[in-house]
Chain A
Amino acid sequence: MAPNGQGDSTAGNDKLSADLDTNLKQFQAVFDKCGDIQYRPFELNEALLGTFIFLSGLGNINAVNMDLLRNAIESSLIEQSEALTEDIKAAIHSKLGFTSQTSWSDDFQASVDKILAGELAVLLDGFTSILLLNVKELDTRSIEEPATESVIRGPRDGFQENISTNISLIRRRLKTTQLKLEMFTAGKLSVTDIAIAYLEGIAEESLIAEVKERVGRIKIDAILESGYVEELIEDNSVSPFPQVMVTERPDKVVGNLLEGKVAIIVDNTPFVIVVPGTFFQLLQTPEDYYQRYFVASAIRILRFIAVVSSLLLPSLYIALTTYHHEMIPTMLLISIASSRETVPFPAFVEAMLMEVAFEGLREAGVRLPRPVGQGVSIVGALVIGQAAVAAGIVSSPLLIIVSMTGIASFLFPSFQLGLAFRLLRFPMMIAAATFGLYGILMLMLMLLLHMLHLQSFGVPYMSPLSPLRAGELKDVLYRANWLKMSKSSKSRG
């Protein structure tokens, strides 16, 4: 939806004149060389001439509709051809009930903005106001299951590129006046619509104010995706950790709104930002709440194990095999040592090689078109996996470690958090290769210090674990029964 509202108040420099030709020339000058702007003159009766101005492609209006429009305007204007009174405005409003929104504007610049946003402008000879009709109906794809966050049990609808569709997906889950949606635009050239959604009375006022302030502060030429907004509003832009939650799922957004979070919906992208983002929130999926709580709790624990192993497994392998031989059980050490016997590289180089190859494969899998992607997986599994071990370039225990790490990093519900851990794995491996377990410990301490220091919109990143709010841990470390959770005011129930 364009920021039209009752749009008359928008400040502009140029006033419109009463003469159609003057107005038309003014518009033609502004829209010079804009090939997608269409002008369509019409005649209401002999005396009254007019022109439609609209964007081809953005506006969904055909010739039949235009004739209808013309007739409707004609019938309400037929008697009087004097100044535009409030009565006539009201008459047109009621007559044009079949289009979604109508407004009058006497400001030139505002009208230009609206035409660019996809509205149909009706210029009438003799009037200083322009009739703007919101006939915008963009071509979008249908609502599909989100590709990045699929669930076994749970709603299958996902956001798509149209902001009004996205808002409606949230609204149909929260049929309350408490759900507020505040509209902004940002981007000097893109003029992208941004909606800030929150539940009044549940989200904290200070948080809402902070989000509005930060979104209002955005100064950029264009916003093509919510990632731009994320980077411009996050607290610490040098941290590897995502400080906002990004999701394609309406149910996830609504769940977070119910927890007092604020959602930022950006036009032209299915990814909605939820702030503040905390570490543990990024490790949760909506499905945790749909499945039975025993199962969900077990899966959460599994996820914590995955977090640790995706970060530490390769570095532990390096540290243990090059520094701390005594920490590996004898028989295991023997089998590792014997398979490493023919490997010409140090453990660090070996691990680095495989991890880089794996990351490369993964990236290739994302970028390549689907039919080629299969080829990549064959190359990955056969060439890198089998052949490297058979040739004695890589030891098979390491291959197991790399695959386990890979699987663990797929367990992250948040792709962004998974990326952070994938990235951190490499410094961790370097630390392990230079200082052994001591190095791992030092880097872990640094990471922990950073994570504890990090804040997202005033909320500590590691909350509620630190600072400890014991009551909320039942929805962090495991997922308690709904009966127990409803006691907490901030829960989703």
Chain B
Amino acid sequence: MRKPILLLLTLLILMTQTGCWSRIELNDVAIVTASAIDLAQDGKYKLSVQILKMKMTKGISENGSSSENVTLTLSAKGDTIMEALNVIQKKIPRLIIFSHNRVIIVGEKLAREGLAPAIDFFSRHREARGNSYLLTTRGEAAELLKVPANFEIFTGEEMREEEKARLLDSASIRDFIYRLFEKGIEPTSSQMQVIPLSDPNGKPAKEEEMGLGLVGVGIYRKDKLLGWMNRSEAECLLWLRNRMKSSVLTVAIPGKDRQPGRVSVQLISAKTKYKSKITGENIQFEVAIKMTGELFENSTKLSIKEMNNLNFLQHALEKEIENRVNMTVKKLQTQYKSDVIGFGNILHRQHKSDWNKKYATLWEEEFPKIDVKTKATFKFIGTGRVNESLVEEEELEK
């Protein structure tokens, strides 16, 4: 009988020895779904958090309408993020938790000044997720939080879903920090903007017609934003980094006669291999891209029943891929001088001693000088339901 009593006493003592009790009921937390950091005029950080209003979400699940705003956006300024958060915390009666914060948006101004001090909070905070996506936007980041969600319950989820689809190069906080510290590779982050849903040029008539869209990728050197890459260049980055999930490639086929056509393919896989060679002062990279795709649209007169035509198309696509890769790499080398693809990293792996001796410290200067040769191979794995080109068939009937 002594033993169980002793055991029980030990347990009771143990219970009182714990420091803080992290128990908190769900009714007492404010769940942050997205946060935005901007640099204010006076050099302070402006933190905006999007918090879920639970009562409203219940209304939605019962009524099925989403016209009402279910989230609350709170902002505060502070010398550090924590200080700003503290100000926000005092505005609401519930404890703010960051464990479901899936998106962190950074304004352009702050990004150009340097992100590291701002994201330190998110990498250090026990609650914050390493896999939250880091987004950059032109202008104020807080603006994005105000856009009403079109499909999900709240905007944060919509942003996350969009990032998850990996249509453009995405980066989580963890990725970003990893690439920040890794030598021979520079970080990127997706660029998200408020864009009109219907009209790509004109201004939307109503506010509801605005949506969030990924428009490109922000290129960084260290933690400072240098500039943006547009959609097609950003897609190219995905291929080069072996992270493509699916993408579309369109190529114009000049054609033998006057009427040029276009061919669109759905890319199914893209695999890139790098081979580096050091000859004297020169560094050469051979980039071999292997892609497969399915033909989705063919407005040329070429019938794909013919093996020759198929080969011709494949060749044209290969050329296009090579062109786009070359252009992207060139832009990185000349305009930004930032190695976001990670050529340095590859060199480090393939020529360890040379890298350690020579290039490790000088890579920023060395990168614009490297010679990149691209070799693409494209293979059709499907041509769709139709064999003959519709364009050609019409002509045959005449």
Contacts and interface: CB of A to CB of B under 8 A. Distances in A.
Contacts of B23: 322-323, 433, 436
A114 interface: no
Contact of B100 (A322, A326, A347, A436): A326
A347 B129 contact: no
Q: How large is the interface on A (under 10, 10 to 19, 20 to 34, 35 or more residues)?
A: 20 to 34
**Main SS of chain B's interface residues?**
mixed
Contact of B57 (A334, A343, A347, A433): A334
Given A326-B99, A326-B129, A338-B61, A347 B25 contact: yes
A335 B57 CA distance: 8
A181 interface: no
Nearest to A238: B4
Interface string B16-39: 000000111111010101000000
A331 B58 CA distance: 12
Interface string A320-353: 0111011000110111111111010011000000
B313 to A, nearest CB: 43
A164 interface: no
A347 to B, nearest CB: 6
Interface string A293-335: 0000000000000000000000000000111011000110111
Contacts of A326: 97, 99-100, 127, 129
Nearest to A334: B57
Contacts of B357: none
A150 interface: no
Contacts of B341: none
Contacts of B97: 325-326
B95 to A, nearest CB: 10
Given A330-B33, A331-B157, A338 B54 contact: yes
B25 A334 contact: no
Contacts of B33: 330
A317 B303 CA distance: 61
Contacts of A165: none
B340 interface: no
Contacts of B2: none
B1 to A, nearest CB: 11
A334 B54 CA distance: 7
B358 interface: no
Contact of A338 (B22, B29, B57, B127): B57
Contacts of A17: none
A434 interface: yes
Interface string A421-454: 0000000000001101000000000000000000
Contacts of A321: 25-26
Contact of B55 (A322, A331, A336, A338): A338
B58 A325 contact: no
A335 B54 contact: no
Contacts of A330: 31, 33, 100, 102, 157
Contact of A434 (B15, B52, B55): B15
Given A325-B97, A326-B127, A434-B15, A337 B26 contact: yes
The 4 closest A-B pairs by CB, nearest first: A326-B99, A338-B58, A338-B57, A337-B26
13 contacts: A321-B25, A321-B26, A325-B100, A326-B100, A326-B129, A331-B153, A334-B52, A334-B54, A334-B57, A334-B153, A337-B57, A338-B61, A347-B25
Interface of B: 15, 22-27, 29, 31, 33, 52, 54-55, 57-58, 61, 97, 99-100, 102, 127, 129, 153, 157
Given A331-B153, A338-B57, A347-B26, 10 more contacts: A321-B26, A322-B24, A323-B22, A325-B24, A330-B31, A331-B157, A334-B54, A334-B57, A337-B26, A337-B57
